[in-house]
Structure 1
């Protein structure tokens, strides 16, 4: 069996990173399954109280995460579809090139990728994204979101942690080894 760890070509991937693609697929499946449940069991814009701060409320989002640009007139569908497709391709390549020792960064990329593709599926097939998680406190309401948005948000938080804390440590370790 050839040593795939030593090859560094553009299309050479590390097999261990298939696990991270599996996390992306899990995020996509959970997202699509919960959106299907919301679409088939909830009435549009009719809140179902779950907790004192949480409703299930079926909404159609024509914008980006958390309804950003949802009232922009229609151009955003094509923009966000193209953007999600382009970013997904880049993230797949980036994810598959991750060294085996890294955990937080590939997890972040996998979650962002899964969330982006989950919402991309909605945008292409429906023309909008299904949102149903509605969090609020008294009269302050957070825009409705879904599992894909949650995966993107969690992935972004992990990416920031990796960038601001772990990357510095990797650079310091590399400099120590090179001395």
Structure 2
């Protein structure tokens, strides 16, 4: 049985999934496909786009098989990270990071199951430069990955001392 100390990590996973799905639901209800709503002129818009691929639309035009590949990959990574949390293989920062990644991956897997693609809506730009649209799940995955790298660096330093 899992102890109360793992409650925090489960809460992060569930909160991440809920935040991701709630924001996507609101965007789907209030923004038309490819419509842009300016939030900060010249820098940040809300828009509704669909991504059948992975980050930066990688394999977006692959014909459909990529949906199952990315869902399977996400599930394998989630199982690995959840196992690592339960086995106490990370320090606290690493466990938080892993939970963030799991929550984000679960959000994008949910999109692929429900919609057949990932819903993206956050668009940052400057003049003619545009960062590809993304969502809350993508943010959780990226921040979680950076935190895992930082934890790994600091954990290695502690071992060396």
After TM superposition, the score normalised by the length of structure 1 is 0.84
**Structure 1: gaps spanning 5 or more residues:** 1-11, 174-179
One of 81, 89, 100 as aligned partner of 2:79: 89
Give the distance between the partners of 1:96 and 1:14, measured in 2 at CA. 10
**Corresponding residue of 1:168:** 156
Give the distance between the partners of 2:8 and 2:108, measured in 1 at CA. 21
**Corresponding residue of 1:3:** none
Q: Structure 1, residues 10-58: CA drift from partner, whole Å, max 9, x if none? A: xx64441221111011110000000000000001001111112111010
Matched, 1:41 2:44: no
CA RMSD of aligned residues (A): 1.6
Contact 2:101-2:141 at 8 Å conserved across structures: yes
Q: Please state whether the residue corresponding to 2:60 is helix, strand or coil.
A: coil
Q: For this pair of structures, how many residues does the alignment match?
A: 160
Give the distance between the partners of 2:63 and 2:142, measured in 1 at CA. 25
Q: Please state whether the residue corresponding to 1:23 is helix, strand or coil.
A: helix
**Corresponding residue of 1:9:** none
Contact 1:67-1:144 at 8 Å conserved across structures: no
Matched, 1:57 2:47: yes
Q: Structure 1, residues 85-131: CA drift from partner, whole Å, max 9, x if none? A: 121122211122227x9321011101100000000001111110110
**Corresponding residue of 2:122:** 133
Deviation (angstroms), 1:64: 1.1
Contact 1:66-1:149 at 8 Å conserved across structures: no
Runs of 4+ in 1 over 3 A off after TM superposition: 12-15
Deviation (angstroms), 1:76: 0.8
Query: If you compute each CA radius of gyration, which structure gives the higher value, 1 or 2?
Result: 1
